[in-house]
Amino acid sequence: MMCTKCRRRKAVYLRSYSGEVLCRFCFKRSIEMKVKDTISKHKLLSRNDSILIAVSGGKDSLTLLKTLWRIESRIPSITLAALTIDEGSTEEYRVEGLKLSRKICEDLKIPHYVVSFKEYIGYTLKELWSKTQEKKLELLPCSYCGVLRRRIMNTFAKDHGFTKIATGHNLDDEVQTFIMNIMRGDYSKLFRFGASMETIPGFIPRIKPLRYVPEMEIAFYAFLEGFKLYEAECPYVRLSMRDEIRFMLNEFERKYPGVKFSIMSVMDKLNKQFSNLNKTYFKSCISCGEPTSRDKCRVCEIMDLIKT
């Protein structure tokens, strides 16, 4: 079958939600255009921005790094650097992730930094998991791993003068988080979504240029780019509610192509209508002074639970 866009090359990808069949060239171009459109529509980049890219070494972050690098090469006033957070795991997913992150940053000549959980909070992720189990705390690894990861990114970016943090969240990640917040009844988080976060004192704005790209398409883009991907994943991933929601959403998407985009359009509308809530919800943590929507931030709460 021929590509429905260029009508010249052999199609290699069927985009079920739009009915297009695309050749390698048109497929890659469509992803890059989507990222560029997201950046310009949501004004994610400004002249003289210094962007810190969160790079785990997985397909999303490598795709983000490569697409931003392409865009940056046309806007020399923007600078890029990458940060990999090392949870202290000796498992293959982290060892390989670190290796790949280092290699691609070297190839693209992007400065690469690594910060570990151990140096930041004194524990590896595995040690935190043992502590929570010892104390019979109802905390799953992903819940504190995500919170700590965001804190480390923000602190590192502030300390090193970065103006934005770019993360590789894709369409699937965003929709899963939205559904999770509904299931947990977490009303306050429902309107904290967007390709970029509002400017809140103490927070380096976070941008998500891949927000409208489905996970499956990122995987195919990464394959076409020749990224050396690995099968191994974090051993805790299957414990999370996100994993079940991912499975459920993929089933729905298979039966009703485009369902993830439909949810995303509701999220965007809610975000637009209620974006003012973002501004009023933040104050300073009574313990560490970092911005938070509670009296005590989640990082301090978690560390108190673990230490007491």
Contact between 78 and Zn ion (CB under 5 A)? no
Per-residue binding letters, 115-144, with ligand SF4 (x by CB under 6 A): --------------------------xx--
Q: List the single partner that 44 binds among Zn ion, ligand SF4, none, CB under 5 to 8 Å by kind.
A: none
Contact between 287 and Zn ion (CB under 5 A)? yes
Task: State the minimum distance, in angstroms, from the CB of residue 127 to ligand SF4.
Answer: 13
The number of residues that bind ligand SF4 (CB under 6 A) is 8
| Greatest Cα pair distance in the chain | 66
Task: State the minimum distance, in angstroms, from the CB of residue 291 to Zn ion.
Answer: 9
Task: State the minimum distance, in angstroms, from the CB of residue 166 to ligand SF4.
Answer: 18
Contact between 145 and ligand SF4 (CB under 6 A)? yes
**45 vs 121 by CB, closer to Zn ion:** 121
Q: List the single partner that 288 binds among Zn ion, ligand SF4, none, CB under 5 to 8 Å by kind.
A: Zn ion
Q: List the single partner that 249 binds among Zn ion, ligand SF4, none, CB under 5 to 8 Å by kind.
A: none
Stretch that binds Zn ion, among 4-12, 30-38, 263-271, 284-292 (CB under 5 A): 284-292
Contact residues toward ligand SF4 (CB under 6 A) are 87, 141-142, 145-146, 234, 236-237
Contact residues toward Zn ion (CB under 5 A) are 285, 287-288, 297, 300
